Amino acid sequence: MDKMLECDVLVFASPVYALSVCAQAKMFIDRCQALWARKFLLKTLSADDNKRGIFIATAGQTFPDVFEHTVPVARFLFNVAGVKNKNMQYILLDGLDKKTDFSKSERAKEEVLKAARDLIGE
DSSP string, 70-88: HHHHHHHHHHHTTB-GGGE
Domains of the chain in start order, with CATH, are: 2-120 (3.40.50.360)
67 in Cβ contact with 94 (< 8 Å): yes
Task: Work out the pLDDT band at 67, boundaries 50, 70, 90.
Answer: very high
Of all residues in the chain, the percent with pLDDT exceeding 90 is: 86
How do beta strands 52-58 and 20-21 pair? unpaired
Q: What pTM was estimated for this model as a whole?
A: 0.91
Please give the full DSSP string across 19-31, using - where no structure is assigned: TEE-HHHHHHHHH
